[in-house]
Structure 1
Amino acid sequence: MIIGVLNQKGGVGKTTIAVNLAATLAKTGSRVLLVDADPQGSALAWSSARALAPIFSVVGMAKPTLHRDLPDIAKDYEVVVIDGAPRVNELGRAAILASDVVLIPVQPSPYDIWAAADTVALIREAQQFKPNLKGVFAINRKIANTAIGRDVVTALEAFGDIPVLTAALHQRVIYAESAGQGLSVIEVAPHGDAAREIAKLASQLFNQQERKVA
């Protein structure tokens, strides 16, 4: 399974989700590859900051031929997570075409909701060539018990064919603190709220993909 984490707006937490999703899946025993397809190289920087032995592989592939080059590498792994590039360009299109499911992180902000339309348009465009491609929204950096946290779900549901995962990720300091050490939240606090959120997101993501295939 190849999971692309993409949003054409920067600063939505793509790398945070990609890294922690890869770590959570690796901790279940899956062979996981994290592909840094963003020229900024944040996932590679995270890997370089790590002092402990890696629990999954990380490679940089920020190139427009990603969708053609990745299958040969992906065959050695059970799950591949792509940390995609922001902005509508050939790198974003290549990452989407390489994916089986595209996870779109969206923060509770009107700007993020408006920008999500660009990513959805790219997914729909790619579905003309790859009909089984799936897209899902994930709310990131949600602040509990706020109206905008609830409103963002309603706004995203208007896209219709792109479901919103109920497993939202909340605003938590541990995401930044763990990243600075080259660690994931499941390593820093395996029984904490952040680790449970990521595990729930991973479970729902796989359930969505299995439903699509069925």
Structure 2
Amino acid sequence: MIISLLNQKGGVGKTTLAVSLAGQLTQLGSRVLLIDADPQGSALDWAAAREGEPLFPVVGLPRPTVHKEIQGFVGDYDHIVIDGAPRVTDLARSVIMASDVVVIPVQPSPYDIWSAEEVVGLVNEGAIYKEKLKSCFVINRKIVNTAIGRDVKEALANYDLSILDVTVGQRVVFAEAVASGLVVSEVAPKSNAATEVKAFANELLKF
């Protein structure tokens, strides 16, 4: 399965989710490749911060030819996770065309909900050419017990796109793991963050 994390708005936590998802799929026994399609190279920076053996390989492909170049990797991996780029429309379109599932991370804020229109439009455009393309929202960086956290699913329903049941909270352990080139299950395997990432991966595999 080729799963991309994509949002035209920056700062939604897509790289952290992409890294976390790739780590969880690896720990489930799958052969996983993470493609960094963001010119900022945040996933590559994460990989460079890691000491010792990599948990999974990370390759940089910040080019609008991802959908073509990815074919050279498909046979070697069970899953490929793509960390997409914000604000680069041609690259986003290429990532969408490369994907089986496009996951749109959205923070529970009005700005994120309003700005989702652009990426939803790109996904709907891609679905015209790729009939089996699946897409969904995942609520990320949710602050527990806040009204906006509870109401965001209702607001996103206006986009007529699937919304994953799992939500991922805003937790310090994600930043601590990223700084060391690790994933949360390595830093705090029994934490709420690790549980949420596991649920996120499991729901996607059934999507």
Aligned to 2:63: 63
Aligned to 1:175: 174
- Mapped to 2, the partners of 1:88 and 1:19 lie a distance apart of 21
- Mapped to 2, the partners of 1:206 and 1:58 lie a distance apart of 21
The 5 Å alignment of 1:76-155 reads 76-155=76-155
- Mapped to 1, the partners of 2:109 and 2:129 lie a distance apart of 32
Residue 206 of structure 1 and its aligned partner are, at CA, apart by 1.4
How does the TM-score come out when normalised to structure 2? 0.98
More strand by share: 2
Deviations 1:156-179 (A, max 9, x none): 11112x111111000100000110
Superposed CA RMSD in Å reads 0.8
- Mapped to 2, the partners of 1:101 and 1:28 lie a distance apart of 19
- Percent identity over the alignment is 56
Aligned to 2:190: 191
Task: Give the 3-state SS of the residue equivalent to 1:167 in structure 2.
Answer: strand
Residue 88 of structure 1 and its aligned partner are, at CA, apart by 4.7
Aligned to 1:207: 206
Task: Give the 3-state SS of the residue equivalent to 1:169 in structure 2.
Answer: strand
| Amino acid across the alignment from 1:158 | N
Following TM superposition, where does structure 1 have runs of at least 4 consecutive aligned residues deviating by more than 6 angstroms? none
Task: Give the 3-state SS of the residue equivalent to 1:69 in structure 2.
Answer: helix
Aligned to 1:24: 24
Residue 52 of structure 1 and its aligned partner are, at CA, apart by 2.5
How does the TM-score come out when normalised to structure 1? 0.95
- Mapped to 2, the partners of 1:31 and 1:39 lie a distance apart of 25
- Mapped to 2, the partners of 1:23 and 1:154 lie a distance apart of 30
- Mapped to 1, the partners of 2:174 and 2:121 lie a distance apart of 30
Task: Give the 3-state SS of the residue equivalent to 1:140 in structure 2.
Answer: strand
- Mapped to 1, the partners of 2:71 and 2:139 lie a distance apart of 29
The answer for unaligned runs of 5 or more in structure 2 is none
- Mapped to 1, the partners of 2:122 and 2:6 lie a distance apart of 10
Task: Give the 3-state SS of the residue equivalent to 2:141 in structure 1.
Answer: coil
How many pairs are equivalent?
207
The answer for unaligned runs of 5 or more in structure 1 is 209-214
